Chains A and B, each alone.
Chain A
Amino acid sequence: MTVADDPRNIVMLTADSLRADHCGFVDSASSLTPTIDRLAEEGVSYSEAVAPGPRTPSSVPVFFTGEFMTDDPEWSMADWQGRQSRIGRHMEQFTHLSERLQRRGYETATFTTNPWTTRESSFHHGFDDFNEVSADSPDVDSKHLSDSTLFTVADGGLKSLPGDPGGWSSKKEWFSQWTGYFELIEDRIESLSEPFFLWVFVLDSHQPYITPRAYREESAAWEMYYSILRYWYGETNDAELPDRAGELIGQAYRDAVRSVDGFVDALTGAVDAYDPVTVFFSDHGEALGEHGNFGHEQTLYEENLRVPLFVHNAGATGTVDEQLPLRSLPELLCDLADVTPFDPAAHTRQFVVSHTENNATQSVRTSRWKLVDDGETARLFDLQGDPDETTDVSESYPEVAASLADVLASHDATQTEKARVGDAAAEVVSGEADL
């Protein structure tokens, strides 16, 4: 193990909705991610990294701050602005991992594509350079959202027409592809002073999986677009997908994963001269028909919570089989920034808690068991004997269920106490402001 003399540059790459089992270093049956697998092999790979929630709004605010979002009365799931404001209040309340690195002397920059991670939800704190990549970004022209011919032609052509034929303006996000804005990232890298922290959050593996031609190995273009439309129809009409559509969605998703691997290859190539530590992971998984779901519904099954994660070039190698909660990322990144040996297992946990966005359903996971509590019933799954989580075994293993219920109760008590502290702190600060 070697220790660097100076703080290391850190690159954090996040792929939205990338399943762990589609990465070969987690599941050797997959051959979609040769670059990711090579980097994981050269560095430290985590075989059981676990997201704090099944969707971006329930995951990224948590791994950015190390804290779960508490409930407050000012939002509901039916109110998107309320959901956004709730995330914003959380991000205002706690210190971000980017701020912690900034305070350690890092120049910090990000390119982020997911609409939950914008200035409106206060993700800009701690970034010297904040770049939202979107159709209506204040930072980046929408032409960089994608370099696909279809997107460019459609965007240019439809912009020149009156009105918005076909609701084009509301669908541009479907085309978010890293190849469209990669040159901007390359330019930014060249101007960063060291040590730097660069976070890139790509949307390519997020539904509806529109993938650059260069990475499409399984889906013909018509199949990719058909699967998108069929998927979207199912989403908006609650209709069950025919098997063939499900297969096509799986193909399109695998091609999207290939594109993410291409992104990791290109990005790590672009930063290679700066010898950074690279941390790669996804914010949550993705269902491809399991438990009757596609995408990332409000469920806490393995396909949604398990994520790939590796740390490359940190002076350590090997595979960590203990659970690593994404919630530990702020501490892990600060470890990497400090000029001390990196201990890959320092932030693993025996118990990992996850929440849905509305906190209505919570789970606690060990390497073998998972208890899922929706407030009315608590189901226990044996992840080794029943990895597909089909059978509730709480009656067969009542002591295990009771022990895990105690862990959740302790977690709930902690969240309640933290909410009290938060309310009190808000009053103290607002009282000061009035003086």
Chain B
Amino acid sequence: MTDLTISDELADRIDARVERTDFESPAEYAEFVLSEVVTRVERDGESDEAAEASREGVQDRLQSLGYLEE
């Protein structure tokens, strides 16, 4: 683990946000926010394989396994 320092003011603001949630501390909240942003930034620079058009066969596969009854 590595310590990062934030201002008391920001810590107070995060404290207010984590109230009544499952975040156990401002540090956990800050970890979530930073991880989310960094992941998105990293993905932004990657080749976008996920943008491939869905293959027609996938629908058949989902249907045959009982996932499309809704």
A residues apposed to B, CB below 8 Å: 55, 57, 77-78, 80-81, 84, 88, 91-95, 114-116, 118-122, 124-125, 134-136, 169-174, 203, 206-207, 235-236, 295, 409-411, 413-414, 417-418, 421-422, 425-426, 428-429, 432-433
Contact = CB atoms under 8 A, between A and B. Distances in A.
A418 B66 CA distance: 31
A253 to B, nearest CB: 14
B40 to A, nearest CB: 4
A417 B21 contact: yes
B36 A422 contact: yes
Contacts of A429: 37, 40-41, 44
For the complex, would chain A's binding face be called helix, strand, loop or mixed by DSSP majority?
Answer: helix
A135 B65 CA distance: 13
Contact of B68 (A80, A92, A119, A125): A80
Nearest to A16: B65
Contact of A119 (B21, B35, B49, B63): B49
B32 A421 contact: yes
B10 interface: no
Given A92-B43, A433-B44, A414 B36 contact: no
List the 7 shortest-distance A-B pairs measured between CB atoms, nearest first.
Answer: A136-B57, A170-B60, A115-B61, A414-B21, A122-B50, A77-B70, A414-B22
Given A93-B39, A413-B20, A120 B44 contact: no
Interface residues on B, range: 35 or more
Given A169-B60, A414-B23, A120 B54 contact: yes
A205 to B, nearest CB: 12
Nearest to A91: B50
A35 B59 CA distance: 35
A169 B54 CA distance: 17
11 contacts: A81-B54, A95-B39, A119-B50, A119-B52, A124-B49, A135-B61, A172-B61, A173-B61, A235-B69, A236-B69, A421-B32
B68 A417 contact: no
A417 B29 CA distance: 10
Contacts of A422: 36
Contacts of A121: 50
Interface of B: 17-18, 20-23, 32-33, 35-37, 39-41, 43-44, 49-50, 52, 54-55, 57-70
A325 B20 CA distance: 21
A84 B39 contact: no
A425 B40 contact: yes
A80 B59 contact: yes
A429 B17 CA distance: 22
B36 A413 contact: no
Nearest to A84: B54
Contacts of A134: 57, 61
Contact of B65 (A81, A91, A206): A206
B37 A94 contact: no
A134 B33 CA distance: 36
Contacts of A410: 20-22
A370 to B, nearest CB: 18
A115 B58 contact: yes
Contact of B41 (A80, A136, A295, A432): A432
A120 B51 CA distance: 7
Contacts of B50: 88, 91-92, 119-122, 124
Nearest to A206: B65
B55 A120 contact: yes
A169 B37 contact: no
Contacts of B62: 80, 115-116
Nearest to B22: A414
